[in-house]
Amino acid sequence: MSSHGSSTPTVAIIGGGQLARMMAQSAVALGVPLRLLAEADGVSAAQVVPDTLVGDYRDLDTLRKVTDGCAVVTFDHEHVPTEHLHALADDGHACRPGPEALVHAQDKAVMRERLTALDVPCPRHAVVEDAEAVERFAASVGGFPVVLKTTRGGYDGKGVWVVGSAEESADAFATAEATGVRILAEEKVDFRRELSALVARSPSGQVAAYPVVESVQRDGICWEVVAPAPDLAAGLAVEAQQIAMKVAGELGVTGILAVELFETQDGRVLVNELAMRPHNTGHWSMDGAVTGQFENHLRAVLDLPLGSPDARAPWTVMVNILGGDDARLAGDLYAGYPHALARDPRLKVHLYGKSVKPGRKVGHVTAYGDDLEEVRERALHAAAWFRGDLGEESE
């Protein structure tokens, strides 16, 4: 019953998390209708997308049902089985990103092999079959500790172990055996900090590169992002953007590609992870860039010309709101508004409509301005307040 023009395409989004929710905001502005496959009733994006189907993204029939009639299929997460993506592509669906690209964000061993072949700088790595192989790998990179990762299925620090000896690799191999994935060993990089280079790439090959940002992790979860990365050498910033553009082009990524990087103590950048979807390290761009990552993701997957990724302010800081266990705000982020908004009329708050659990990403705040320390303080204060880490006396 909608009144869209005849050529207006419908975009299918697989996955009903906050990334799909924030895509929906941009889709409203662009006048592009969405169809959503949500994991369950009432999940984050299902609250805001009328045309929602609830079902399992691991079921091909469900995927076929939700994508029927949609011009483009895109994703809230990277967990759709590769063989289903191929089946959808064989059906004639424009999966963006497509399965050949997405596998590099799904399988860390495939990603490392491909990036190495492309001469993209990575930490030293090897697929390891057992504890002995871990021992040999450690010896080849100067000893323990080394990092073990499941090649598939990990996120937010899950499926990652830092081991100080071969014996400590037992958990990793037990997980591998239980889930049928392989284990990748990587050198533990002595990094100065973590960076992220985001690009949007369209099927026509247009690329828009966002300013390189610094990302601060705690317990494997993105905590704070500063745009642009402070005091980053111009040469390294360009190198990071060139890596992202090269990876996007060589792998044929469509939509947003996030390249998470280590900046080493000796002034190099090494690729840590790839994500082929809007990414937590790009949330700053919603309020801080001319074109936010969610709008550019939609423009890219629709093969529309991309928007400017330029920053609108000298500094933008995004801090995640993680669920705390403070009784005052437990389950009730809304109660945090009066103080947070009154303290800072320039603050931008994004809440995802998710129930609060300790450590769960339930929203983010963004501040921008001319003075980095002032901007950081505003964003950190607000996020801590919503998390419940500040008592009433901290007002």
Query: Among 146, 199, 320, 353, which residue interacts with a second copy (rule: CB under 8 A)?
Result: 353
Q: Closer CB to a second copy, residue 166 or residue 300? A: 300
Query: Among 61, 345, 373, 393, which residue interacts with a second copy (rule: CB under 8 A)?
Result: 345
Q: Tell me if 75 sits within 8 A of 14, measured CB to CB.
A: yes
Query: Among 10, 363, 378, 390, which residue interacts with a second copy (rule: CB under 8 A)?
Result: 363
- With binding defined as CB under 8 A, does residue 50 bind a second copy? yes
Q: Quote the least distance from Cβ 75 to a second copy, whole Å.
A: 19
Q: Tell me if 365 sits within 8 A of 349, measured CB to CB.
A: yes
Q: Quote the least distance from Cβ 310 to a second copy, whole Å.
A: 8
Sort strands 125-128 and 255-264 into parallel, antiparallel or unpaired.
unpaired
Q: Which residues contact 222 (CB under 8 A, 6 or more apart)?
A: 156, 215, 216, 280, 281, 320
Q: Quote the least distance from Cβ 1 to a second copy, whole Å.
A: 3
Sort strands 146-150 and 183-187 into parallel, antiparallel or unpaired.
antiparallel
Q: How far apart are CA 77 and CA 15, in angstroms?
A: 6
Q: Quote the least distance from Cβ 220 to a second copy, whole Å.
A: 24
Element (H, E) at 14: strand 11-14
The reply, when asked if residue 272 is annotated as ligand binding, is yes
| Residue owning tokens 């705040």 | 365
- With binding defined as CB under 8 A, does residue 93 bind a second copy? no
Instruction: Report CA-CA distances (Å) from 273 to 197, 221, 239, 244.
Output: 11, 13, 16, 11
Q: Quote the least distance from Cβ 306 to a second copy, whole Å.
A: 7
- With binding defined as CB under 8 A, does residue 360 bind a second copy? no
Query: Among 126, 351, 379, 383, which residue interacts with a second copy (rule: CB under 8 A)?
Result: 351
Q: How far apart are CA 255 and CA 212, in angstroms?
A: 17
Residue 51 has phi, psi (to 5 degrees) of -90, 75
Tell me, rounded to whole angstroms, the distance of Cα 307 from its chain centroid.
20
Q: Quote the least distance from Cβ 338 to a second copy, whole Å.
A: 6
For the window 137-176, what string marks contact with a second copy as x by the rule CB under 8 A? Answer: ----------------------------------------
Candidate segments 94-102, 121-129, 181-189, 342-350, binder of a second copy by CB under 8 A: 342-350
Q: Closer CB to a second copy, residue 181 or residue 300? A: 300
Q: How far apart are CA 97 and CA 77, in angstroms?
A: 11
The reply, when asked if residue 354 is annotated as ligand binding, is no
The reply, when asked if residue 273 is annotated as ligand binding, is yes
State whether residue 71 is helix, strand or coil.
Answer: coil
b/e map 72-111, b = 16+ CB within 10 Å: bbbbbbbebebebbebbeeeebbbbbbbebbbbbbbbbeb
Q: Closer CB to a second copy, residue 154 or residue 353? A: 353
The reply, when asked if residue 361 is annotated as ligand binding, is no
Residue 201 has phi, psi (to 5 degrees) of -135, 135
**Between residue 9 and residue 38, which ones bind a second copy under the rule CB under 8 A?**
9, 21-22, 24-25, 28-33
Q: Quote the least distance from Cβ 36 to a second copy, whole Å.
A: 10
**Facing residues of 317 across strands?**
226, 367
Q: Which two tokens stand for residue 201?
A: 């790439």
The reply, when asked if residue 187 is annotated as ligand binding, is yes
State whether residue 378 is helix, strand or coil.
Answer: helix
Q: Quote the least distance from Cβ 297 to a second copy, whole Å.
A: 14
Query: Among 108, 348, 376, 381, which residue interacts with a second copy (rule: CB under 8 A)?
Result: 348
The reply, when asked if residue 250 is annotated as ligand binding, is no
Q: How far apart are CA 22 and CA 350, in angstroms?
A: 9
- Which residues make up the interface to a second copy (CB under 8 A)? 1-9, 21-22, 24-25, 28-33, 40-43, 46-50, 52, 208, 290-291, 299, 304-308, 310, 312, 331-335, 337-338, 341-342, 345-356, 363
Binding residues for ATP: 108, 149, 186-189, 194, 272-273
Binding residues: 108, 149, 186-189, 194, 272-273
